[in-house]
Each structure stands twice: as C-alpha cells, then as structure tokens.
Amino acid sequence: MSDSGRILSLMTFTQERSLIEIGEPLSATTFVVFDLETTGTSPHECGITEIGAVKVRGGEVLGEFQTLVNPGSAISPIVVRLTGITDAMVVNAPSIGEVLPSFLEFLGDSVLVAHNARFDVSFLRAACSKHGYAAPHNEVVDTLLLAQRTVTKEEAPNRKLSTLARIFGTTVTPDHRALSDARATSEIMFRMLERLAAFGVTHREDLASLKSTVPARIRSKARIADTVPTQPGVYIFRGPQGDPLYVGTSRDLRSRVKQYFTRAETRTRVKAMVELATTVDTIVCESALEAAVHEVRLIHQWQPQFNVRSKHRERTPWIRLSDEPHPRLVVNYGTTRRQGSLGPFRSTAEARIAIEALHEALGTRTCTTRLPLTPSPQARACVLKDMGACSAPCVAGNETGYDSAVSLTRAALDQNIARVVAPIASTVARYSQAEDYERAIESRDKLSIVVDAAHRADRLLSLQSCSIIAVRPDEDGWELASVAHGRLTGAARVKTGVWAAADALREARDEAVHTDPEDADAALIEEQEIVLSWLEKPGTRLLYVDGTWSSPATGAGQHLAWVEARRQDRTHRMLWNNE
C-alpha cells in the first residue's frame, strides 16, 4: 500500500464529520520537506552550501528543488569530509541571494518540515534578513520532535536521521547531501504520522498540539489573559472563591500569563495552580523594581498556597540571646529584623555554625537547660568549665563572670564583632602554624560566616538609617525609586524631567511615610535586599539622601560611605542640564 493509502485508511473514522468542522486532513496538506548543508553551525557567521527540498501531499511527490550554493567563503576540511561538497563544486554555483527568490516561491504556503528544524529554519531566516527578503512564516514541523513523540528508547538509542531511516526502512539513505536527506526525511515523516493518527493527530490543526503537552482544557483558559495589559507589573491568579493562589511578576503581563496556559509546565505545584485558576488580577507597575517589591509584600500578606516562598514563610534565620536569667544563643526566625539579633543568615546551618563561633570566642554556655536565677548549692559544672569554654553560671559564684560573657555577646549581636574576630583569627593562626590545616580551615569558615552575617546586617542597617531618591538609566529613559527606612515608597519612569520626577517622589514620600525609627524594623528583609541590589547596580545615582547616619564605630559605616560618596558626586547632574 502506498504512503497515501496508509494515511487515508487511518483517517476514515473522521468521515462522518464535515470538512468545515474538522479542518484540513493531513492527506490533503501540502508539505515541503527541506534540508540545508552549511559551512558551520552559526546562521550569522556561516553560509549555505546546498539546498534540497521535496514537495509532497498525501504521500505523492509534487516536485523537488535542489541546488548547490556558493557560500562566499572557503569550506573547511571537516565539512568537506562530512558532506562531500568542495570549494571546486560551488565555485560557479549561484549565491544564496540569487537562489532565495525561487526557493521561497517553491515553499509557498505549505507546511515546512525538517529534521532538527530549528537549525535549518534559522539559516533560512538569517539569509532572508541579510538579503532583504521577508522571512517565511509558514507552519513548521520538526521530525525530531515527531520522533520524540513516536519512537521509544527501546526502538532507537537516539533520534538521528540515519537511525530513524534504518528503523523505518526508507528507500533513500541519508548521506549528508541536502536532497537525499530531504527525501529520507519525507519518508520518515509519513511513517511517524501513521503512528500519530492512532492518537487523534489526523488534521493539519492537530500538528500544533505536538509542540506542547498542554491539555485542551488548560489551553482553553488562555482567554483569561485577553484583558491583561502588556505592561510590567504583578499578576495574581485566583481560585473559584476569589482566593489568591499564586503571585508573580513580569515585564509583559499578558505574555507571561498566557504562557501558563499554552506551554507545557513541569512544576507540579504550578500545574495544580493552573488547574484551579479561574481569574487573574494585575497591578501595573512603573518598573521591575516596584513589581518585585509588590510581589514580596503580597506573598508575605496573603501566603498563597502555590508560591514556594509561602512554604518557608518567616524562615529567615537570625541568632539572638534567649530570654532567661542566664541566656544562651539560639536561632530565631522572622521576615523582619529583631533588635539584638545578628543576621540574617542564608540558612539555619550557617546560623548554628555562627553560634559555635561565638561560643568559642566569648564563652556563652552551650547547654540547653533552663538555669535558675540562683544556682543550687549542689550544682556541678560540666567538662567545658575545665576546658575554659564556659564560665559555668550553673555553679554558685560564677554568675558575674557569665554576665561579662553575655555583655560581650550582646555587643557582637549589635555588629561589634571585633571581640569575635580576634580570638578566632588567633585560633586559625595557631592551627596553621601547627600544620593542622583541616582545623584551620574549619575555624576560618566559622569566622567567614560571622563576618558575612555582620556585613549583611551592616548593609541593611545602612539602608534603614536614611531616606533615598535614586535614578538609573533604562532602555527608554530613566527609572527612579524612593526609599525610606528600608522600604520602597515610590517609583517612576520618565524620558526627561528627572529632577522634577525626583522632587515629586520626595514630596509624596514625606507625606506618606512615618519617620518613626521602628518602621525600619518592620521592613521585610527580602524587600530590603531587592532595593539594595537595585541601588548597587552600575549606573545608579543618588539624587537625595536624608536621615541619621550610623556610627562608624559600629562597623556599619562602610556601606554608608559608598552612599555618601555617590551623594557628593554632583557630576551626574550634567547629564540632565539640558532638560
């Protein structure tokens, strides 16, 4: 039976439906199966050496197209060995600019087919762009994708064209020449379409479903995005009861929302969310910074069940002293800063390592027992007392010594870590001199974690201590942000009029923001990190800086020194003198 006969026999079950209802049968669809030979893999740096194409419909060959092409550059020996095409063979061949008009006419409005179509189509489009022709917008079918859908791993170790030709027993053997490969690809395509017919892929309109595994019931929900704007901002998927399911951000809200319903989703949580979603709300924002901050605040406020962050809410680790007569260091969690805490740390494991470092340097107790205010006369100290690692407040008469250790620890938690650095650095040096490098590295890493946490706290305190109006260039003008006590209070994007926009943001901030110092402690850590990352990007300039500066004695002056240096840099004003 011919290829045409096989396909037609597999499609007979659709005959009761009218052609208007079912669309164009694959037996009536015109395909152009093509292949290109090239001098390399880059469509913008390499040239085409040969084009081969076969036009088929219903298994019948309607025409063929083949020509060598002069690529305008030498063909490397590796390519010659692979394809057999030499410089001598193409020296008198037409250029791609001369070939394109006739090849594009041959394509017409047919469905284009190629094996690893992205490669061939990219070269075709690059050539059209270079020579001033409109790139074809034909529907494209990739036989590599068809093979992934129809050929099992047991049948074939890979999806190479030569492997597929062997499996399907094609009459033409692919040999890295364009027309031969196109003929073989045509045969392989029809064999795979026969298999796909059993799964309902029988019409031209069904081909699109091969590119995505999104179920039809999910694709139909894409209408939700019809009224979504194409601007940057925040999107909120809601369930049947209007409850927020998921919060996200995008520079193009409509495009991003549509992707949830038109692209295959591999994340289990997001797939479950898309199944439940019935509507989507959006908040248009002036900039990506404002959108990111809104996203963090909404997730913190609503705790949507499908946001990963919601699973770990309030899990930012800090270390602090416990609330008891003889306090000990403990890990504390929260999304905002708590007075008398060191951090935030990147993980609980790092926080526990920092506690070990402070124990070693300052002598706070490691036992987890809650001790009485007045020790029992019968109490006895553990071995740590004999090792000098603890002043043993559990034993009568040692309370004063432990109070001194607690005072030093409180100072360290307020970022004065000099008393921690010196003894640990001494320990590192001692182990190094003794060539006990493993312990030296362990102590060094402990110190690094403490210093890094102090540095992170330093940056946050610096941001919390002042109010800032900053500007940075974007692709279409200038992006401005107003920050007070670690919180974003306003944003704007302008093409001109930077100083006027900054003054407007400053006035709005002064009216809306409370200047109570406790506001700084209420700022979400994640929001502050986002703002700091934006401020530290190259090209950012500070227009206004107000507030109380942290004392350099606390170790918090380094980041503010950066702020002050930028504040004093008035040369950037020249950029906007012509407004």
How far from each other are the two terminal CA atoms of the chain, in whole angstroms?
77
Alpha-carbon gap, residue 448 to 480, rounded angstroms: 35
Q: Could you give the CA distance from residue 425 to residue 417 in angstroms, rounded to a whole number? A: 12
Distance CA 572, CA 560 (A): 19
Distance CA 267, CA 42 (A): 33
Cα 84 to Cα 89: distance, rounded to the nearest angstrom:
9
In SS3 terms, 457-503 reads as HHHHHHHHCEEEEEEEEECCEEEEEEEECCEEEEEEEECCCHHHHHH
Residue partners of 421: CB distance under 8 A and separation at least 6: 447, 450, 451
Distances (CA, A) of 405 to 327, 368, 401, 443, 554: 10, 17, 7, 20, 19
Amino acid at 554: T
Alpha carbons 257 and 235: distance in angstroms, whole number:
8
* Partners of 279 in beta bridges: 238
* List 131, 176, 455, 572, catalytic entry: 176
DSSP state of 562: H
Q: Distance between CA atoms of 339 and 410, rounded to whole angstroms?
A: 10
For 183, what's the count of Cα atoms within 13 Å in the CB-facing half-sphere?
Answer: 17
| CA triple 277-309-356, angle to 5 deg | 165
d(CA 149, CA 129): 32
Catalytic residue list contains 176: yes
Are 110 and 31 spatial neighbours (Cβ–Cβ below 8 Å)? yes
The CA distance from 501 to 46, in Å, is 49
CB neighbour list of residue 8: distance below 8 Å, 6 or more residues apart: 27, 58
User: Rounded to whole angstroms, how far apart are CA atoms 346 and 352?
Assistant: 11
The C-alpha angle 164, 3, 7, rounded to 5 degrees, equals 100
Buried b (16+ CB within 10 A) or exposed e, 451-484: bebbbbbbbbbbbbbbbbbbbbeeeeebbbbbbb
Residue partners of 568: CB distance under 8 A and separation at least 6: none
Question: Rounded to 5 degrees, what are φ and ψ at 567?
Answer: -65, -35
Q: Is omega for the bond preceding 344 within 30 degrees of 0, making it cis?
A: yes
* Amino acid at position 379, single letter: A
Residues belonging to the active site: 176
